Each structure stands twice: as structure tokens, then as C-alpha cells.
Structure 1
Amino acid sequence: MKTDRAHAPTIAEVVTSLLREPLPVRFTAYDGSTAGPEASELGLALRSPRGLSFLLTAPGELGLVRAYLSGDLELEGVHPGDPYEILRLVRDRLELRIPSPSEGLDLARRLGPSLLRPPSPPSIEQPPAWRWAVLGLRHSKARDSAAVSHHYDVSNAFYERVLGPSMTYTCAVYPSEAATLEEAQAEKHDLVCRKLGLRPGMRLLDVGCGWGGMVRHAAKHYGVRALGVTLSREQASWAAGAIAEEGLTDLAEVRHADYRDVAEGGFDGISSIGLTEHIGVRHYAAYFAFLRDRLRPEGRLLNHCITLPHNRRADMGPFLDRYIFPDGEMAGSGTIIKEIQDVGLEVMHEENFRPHYARTLTEWCRNLVDNWDSCVAEVGEPTARAWGLYMAGSRLSFERNHVQLHQVLAVRTAADGSSGYPLRPTW
């Protein structure tokens, strides 16, 4: 730390001394000190000693997030519903290194030991996933139910404002540059129906069905009998109301249930849209085997999920794990395909929709900005800030190819080798 040991360092000096790279934006602190380019329109403002304690006691992503969600760190020049522009500049550069023991003792002496005492994190923070793993509860039915409830039972009214009329919380598929979010979500559901080869009278199972968008689209436009299951009570209630309102009760049903409790079989098609991220990589084999057993011979499975650009297992990271997607895990598309093949399903087609998810997230952030006051009133500012941070950060991850979105289509081939699949795709 390049400061005179006879004097206490400024906050800006403390922060910049622990950064791995120079600040790309303006930084101001509660003691009046500054750092970084003064002319920058974007800035970070540290408002309180508690914010500094967050940064010092949890160097890196978690400390920054805690300070931001507590209101001790402000992002200047951006809206909290869409902090994309500042994340684009600082995400890979704003990393605090852990001070050496001697530096830590020096900081304690010069700043006071109270600043190195970890403050209580924001009340919306969840325990880290490793605690559940140690207890042997990770991805148990009870733990999965609690994790899903944390994310999806936030508030239906909040999701209506962020997702728009489709109430679809997965990557849209844009058929053209001019397509709206609603048109793209409808196209995504229709593409899944076409890939599954759905026709009137067929039976569809949609696992992790959310607010029933896929179930309702398949019943309304393809005349299939569709069953959806979700662990979110709020989603199931909302979906049941939408099904009744659209006059689809004779064709569509959404249950508040674990997919593992679906006893029916012989489905012509199964869609898994955005559920694999919650399963856990070690449970892929059991998951795909369960879905295989629910298909009739020549029945099709469409798996749609966020993936990594490599095939090494990875958790979501501390922010997503503790605030957004508890227990979430991701793997590469190669891992998904391998596990599907290893349970005996025949993979027929796969494609990557990475740019589509970046665009989807852009639209969701715009909705959050446009409805900011009502969203804060509905869920509180810390949660609204967390969602803006998560969606803008996810947009950046898709743009930079840190994550991808793959659809994999597979068939339960019959004993005689027939698949019912055409010579060329028909969609």
C-alpha cells in the first residue's frame, strides 16, 4: 500500500491498493476521496463504513454484491434495473485481491479492527450450496422445493411486470430482427412443438412448466393434451387461472408437484425448458432416465437449458447461488448430449441460441426499468436490485460466450430401431 504509514489511508487508497487492475470508472468514497478517471460518466460510490467492511471481509463478487444490495455501494450513471453499461466495463476488472496477513494487520491497525468485522449480509441472502451438500440435502425433493420457491415464488405481479404478457421465463427465439419479445416467446414455444412433432390428440408432458406458457401454447395451437408440473405453488396457481381463462381446461393441466412424482407414462412428447439447471449434474442420468421411461416408443424429448461453452462442471457462482438460483449447476452441451445418449435416447438435433438469450435479457431489463417503482413496491429494493444485476450480468455473459443456451432433441427409439423421425427436419 503506497501511503505514509504515519497517516490513515484514504478509502480510495485502500480500495485501489487491493484491486488487481486500475479502475475503469470513477470511484468516490464517503470520506471524500476519489480514484479512477474523473471524466467518466459512470461511477462507483461507496457510501458508508459498512460498505467498506463488506468489500474487505468478502473480497470479490460477494462483498461487492452485499454492499450494493444493502445500498452502501451505488452504481452511478446507470439505472438499478439495468446496470449493463457499468458491468460491461468493470465486470472482469473490479476484483479485489485478498490482502496478505501482514497487509491485513496493517489495515486493522490503520483503519481500526471494526472495519474487518464481517457485517450481517442482506436478509435476502441464502446459505451457500456447499452447506446443503455437506448435510446431504442438495437436490433432495425438499431442498429442491425450497430452492425453486426462493426464486419463483417472489411475486407473480413482479414477474408479470418483468416478463411481460407471455409470463415466460426462458430464452425466447427471435424469428427476425424486428420481432418483439412476445413474438419471440411465442416462436420459442412453437418451435418446441414443431420439433416434438406434436399433432392433435397427442400427449405432452412439460416438466418445470413455469406459468404454463408451453402447456397452453401446445393445447391451444396443436390440440394436444398437455400436463405441466412445477415446484412453485405461485406458478401453478397462476397457470391454472390462465388455463381456465383461455378455455383450455379440457386439454391442459398444471400441477404443483415434483417431476419425479409424475406417475403417468406413454407421452408422445416431453419438453424440459429451463429445468436442467436445477437438477444437478450428478443427477442428469437419473433425470433423463426418468423422462425416457415416460415416453412411448418413438416419443420425443426436447431439452432446453443454459449451458457452458466447455464440458467441465460449474456452479453458478456466489451471487447467483446465494441470491438468485440456489443450488444451480451448469454443464456443457456435450455433457447434456452424453447423458441423454447414455440412458438410451437417440439424439437427432441440437442448436445453440446464445444471441437470443442476450436479447431476451435486454428486453427483461427494459421492462424492469420501465416498471421500477411498482417492482420495488412489490418485492423491495434489495430484491429488485438483485434482479437487475443478475439479468444485466447474464446478458453480458451470453454476449461474451461465457454461457450458452442449447436445445437438444432426442427420440426414444423403438426395439426394432424405428424412430418415427423424418429423413430431414420438418420445422
Structure 2
Amino acid sequence: MGWAEVFARILGSDVSVEIRAFDGSRAGESGAQVCVEIRSPLALSHLAAAPGELGLARGYVSGAIEVHGDMYTALAAFPAVALNDIPPNLRRELAVKLAGYRLWWPVGPPAVEHRPRGSRHSKRRDSKSISYHYDVSNRFYEWVLGPSMAYTCAVYPEATSTLEEAQFAKHDLVARKLGLREGMRLLDVGCGWGGMVMHAAEHYGVRALGVTLSRQQAQWAQKAIAERGLADVAEVRHVDYRDVTETGFDAVSSIGLTEHIGLAQLPDYFSFLAGKLLPGGRLLNHCITRPDGSHGSRPGKFIGRYVFPDGELEPVGTLVSAMNDNGFEVRHEENLREHYALTLAGWCRNLEEHWDEAVAEVGLQRARVWRLYMAACQLGFERNVVQLHQVLGVRLDGTDAHYPLRPSW
């Protein structure tokens, strides 16, 4: 039996892609839109060492597996793979074939795999985990994200809206939910490259402070703020949000930070943000969530080791309860998961359009990580594996929420 047949048997009989292997064998659907090429025995060695998505990801990131055709189409064609349940007879066949090449365990995972050390969600470990993902290259992010440099779910007014139009609409929706008005003070935690900070300052006359654990993000944002002539009203600092000493803000935005906080830290997180607000001040919490509580908080091994180390996703009910119990009255929430699928599709297109430059900038392995993770996430939002929720809370002024009878946005 050839290597292609072995790989097809591991994936399942209903795989609708063509599979080709270095030994000349073929399997799967001949002439399919997507072809998976097994370039080396190391592909199966990675699967033997780490059955499941991690083994497949290692094979692809290392180059032992190649995907010819669109990555999203390839992933959509794969069946639900339960590689941990490889039948014993197939395991034996795999072991015999690998032994013939003097292989079983691979030499090691690809160099870009990350395993953080230290106390989970300590300031030191959080800083290293954030730096691993975000301090890659500002130029790389400019190619992938586009001019907005917004690395969070956009809001599409229409399905035909451009990515830039949708990112503007997202920032504006957040501003209107927060009730921003001229002269207010905004704190944006986990501010990225400063998109929300600059939008609030430029379009709403707000004095805005953003904080990020990424040094490269802060440097890029401060330069952009100066170039837009906003230095008197906008600032981005390279600092942990927990080290912000100022208080008395009218509003707090948290757009894509909560995924990095961790379940055990949620009470302190929301309590800390409530303490930064004036009475009647609002918090808009925008983050990826689980669709329900049937799965654990931590992501799959591929995302955890190659994309967002120490990331944790909670069901929206968990977030709402934590907000309610730690200083906020929840006034509104909505699920934008379809919008995130559209956002990711835009980022995927951007990456493919700049593929050669991206590889030259960050290396082939890291570029492959991005191609795989963004296509997989697009599929995940479409299939309701993950969701994106905006939750609006108010720090009450006694019993007064300073909130309109109907939402004004």
C-alpha cells in the first residue's frame, strides 16, 4: 500500500480531495479542486507523534505536506478527523512503513512552534505570549490587515462592503455604543495598532489612551497618531493594561483582549475596568467566544502552539455573568460571527496577494501558519464552532445607568 492510500485511510473514506505522495501513489478524488501532496515520510511521522490537528499542522508548516489549491476549500473538504482513533491494524501498518525509513517520532516540531513557560497569565508570561504573535513584523501585518491595521472582527454594512469600509463601521459602532461625545476620555485596552484610539479622537473629539503589550504595535501606532496630527488627543503605550494608573474615564473599549485574559482572571479583569470608569461610564467588550459551555476554554493544540499561546475562549453567558458580578449592569449584546467569517476571508485574500513578500518578510513556516489558521478560523465562524460577541455594560451611577430608553446607534 502506497503512502497516499495510508493517508487517505487515516483521514476517512469520504475525503473529497486528491492525495498524491512522493512514492507515486494516489488516492482520494481524482481531479479534485484541491490536491494534498505528501512530500515526505515525515508527514506520517508527525501524525504518529501527534495524532490529530497538531500532527497535520506540523506536517504542513514543516513542508512535509503541501496543499495545492485554496486552503479554505481544502479544509472545508476534509471530513471530521478523529486521528486519535486510528485503528490498531492501521497503526501497525504505519509503524512498519515508518520503520522502513527509520522514522517514528519526528526530529522535532517546526521552529515556529511556541510553548510558553512560567505562571499562566502572569504579566511576564502574557508579555512573551503576546510578543510571539504580534511582534512579528508591522510590514507583514500591513499586507494582511490592509490600511486599517485592525486585527479584530469587522462589521459589514453589506455583504459587498470592502474590508476597509467594514473596519471603519466596526470602530464607529463601538464608538456609538459607548455614547462617545466630544471632551470624553476613552481607555482602549489591548488597543493593537491604535485603530479605535485614532477613530475616537478623530471622529468624536475624544481624548483616547490605548495600551498594548506589543512593543511593535505601540511604535507603529504612535507614529500613525503623529502623522494624523492627533498627538494632543491620542496616545498608545506599551504597557500591561493592569499597570494603567489613570482613572475617571467616560468609556472603556476592549476589542479582542478578553481572549488573552483567562477564565480565572475574568472577575479581576472586569472589576479593574469598572474601577477605571466614572459612574455611568460604559464598557464595550468585543471578543471571540465559544458557542456553548460543552467545550473547554483552551483552544486546539495548533492554535495554542502556533497562533495564540495561552488563549482562552468562554461562552458569552460566562462573560455576561462575570460582568454582572464585577461592577457592570449589562445593557446589550450581539453576535457577529458571520462578520468575522467575512473579515477572515478578506485577510486570506490579502495574504495570498502578498504571499511572496510575506514569505520573504517572516519566513515560509510562519507564513504557512497564517495561511492555515486564518482559513481554518473562517470555516470555524461559518460552522458556529466559534462566535464573536459584543457585550455592552454600564457602571451604574447609584441606580441610574445614564442610558437611553432605546439604543441610539
Decide which of 313, 327, 335 is 1:352's aligned counterpart: 335
Equivalent residues in 2 for 1:182-261 (5 A)?
182-261=164-243
Q: Does residue 363 in structure 1 map to residue 311 in structure 2?
A: no
- 2:387 is matched with 404
SS of corresponding position for 1:253? strand
- 1:5 is matched with none
* Cα distance in 1 for residues equivalent to 2:81 and 2:199: 44
- 1:3 is matched with none
* Cα distance in 1 for residues equivalent to 2:310 and 2:85: 26
Q: Could you say if the C-alpha distance between residues 111 and 230 of structure 1 is closer, same or farther in structure 2, counting changes exceeding 3 Å?
A: closer
* Cα distance in 2 for residues equivalent to 1:364 and 1:103: 38
* Cα distance in 1 for residues equivalent to 2:170 and 2:88: 53
SS of corresponding position for 1:166? coil
Decide which of 21, 38, 41 is 1:46's aligned counterpart: 38
- 1:88 is matched with 76
Query: How big is each residue's C-alpha offset from its partner over 1:365-395, in whole Å with a ceiling of 9 and x where there is no partner?
Result: 1111111111111101111111111111111
User: How many correspondences in the alignment?
Assistant: 407
| One-letter amino acid matched to 1:207 | V
SS of corresponding position for 1:248? coil
SS of corresponding position for 1:120? coil
Deviation (angstroms), 1:100:
5.9
| One-letter amino acid matched to 2:225 | I
Equivalent residues in 2 for 1:70-89 (5 A)?
70-78=62-70, 83-89=71-77
Q: Could you say if the C-alpha distance between residues 250 and 191 of structure 1 is closer, same or farther in structure 2, counting changes exceeding 3 Å?
A: same
Contact 1:163 1:169 survives alignment (8 Å)? yes
Deviation (angstroms), 1:21:
4.2
Equivalent residues in 2 for 1:19-418 (5 A)?
19-78=11-70, 83-90=71-78, 92-99=79-86, 104=91, 107-109=94-96, 111-112=98-99, 114-127=102-115, 132=117, 137-312=119-294, 313-415=296-398, 417-418=399-400
* Cα distance in 1 for residues equivalent to 2:227 and 2:191: 18
SS of corresponding position for 1:424? coil
Q: Could you say if the C-alpha distance between residues 109 and 37 of structure 1 is closer, same or farther in structure 2, counting changes exceeding 3 Å?
A: closer
Contact 2:4 2:38 survives alignment (8 Å)? no
* Cα distance in 2 for residues equivalent to 1:291 and 1:426: 23
> Which structure 2 segments of 5+ residues have no match?
none
Deviation (angstroms), 1:311:
2.9
What is the aligned-residue identity percentage?
Answer: 58
Deviation (angstroms), 1:102:
6.7
* Cα distance in 1 for residues equivalent to 2:19 and 2:407: 54
TM-score, reference length from structure 2: 0.96
Indicate the RMSD between aligned Cα atoms, in angstroms: 1.6
Contact 1:412 1:419 survives alignment (8 Å)? yes
| One-letter amino acid matched to 1:16 | A
Deviation (angstroms), 1:221:
0.7
Deviation (angstroms), 1:30:
1.1
SS of corresponding position for 1:407? strand
SS of corresponding position for 2:404? coil
* Cα distance in 1 for residues equivalent to 2:349 and 2:170: 20
Contact 1:50 1:119 survives alignment (8 Å)? no
Q: Could you say if the C-alpha distance between residues 124 and 111 of structure 1 is closer, same or farther in structure 2, counting changes exceeding 3 Å?
A: closer
| One-letter amino acid matched to 1:119 | V
* Cα distance in 2 for residues equivalent to 1:291 and 1:171: 22
Deviation (angstroms), 1:76:
1.6
Deviation (angstroms), 1:289:
0.4
Contact 1:23 1:94 survives alignment (8 Å)? no
| One-letter amino acid matched to 2:393 | A
SS of corresponding position for 1:329? coil
Contact 2:15 2:77 survives alignment (8 Å)? no
SS of corresponding position for 2:83? coil
* Cα distance in 1 for residues equivalent to 2:384 and 2:141: 26
Contact 2:256 2:286 survives alignment (8 Å)? yes
| One-letter amino acid matched to 2:245 | A
Deviation (angstroms), 1:174:
1.1
| One-letter amino acid matched to 2:80 | R
Q: Could you say if the C-alpha distance between residues 19 and 182 of structure 1 is closer, same or farther in structure 2, counting changes exceeding 3 Å?
A: closer
Contact 1:21 1:93 survives alignment (8 Å)? no
Contact 1:23 1:93 survives alignment (8 Å)? no
Query: How big is each residue's C-alpha offset from its partner over 1:62-106, in whole Å with a ceiling of 9 and x where there is no partner?
Result: 11111111111011223xxxx11111111x434434546676455
Contact 2:270 2:327 survives alignment (8 Å)? no
| One-letter amino acid matched to 2:99 | G
Contact 2:177 2:284 survives alignment (8 Å)? yes
* Cα distance in 2 for residues equivalent to 1:104 and 1:179: 49
Contact 2:45 2:98 survives alignment (8 Å)? no
TM-score, reference length from structure 1: 0.92
> Which structure 1 segments of 5+ residues have no match?
1-8
Contact 1:21 1:94 survives alignment (8 Å)? no
Q: Could you say if the C-alpha distance between residues 256 and 412 of structure 1 is closer, same or farther in structure 2, counting changes exceeding 3 Å?
A: same
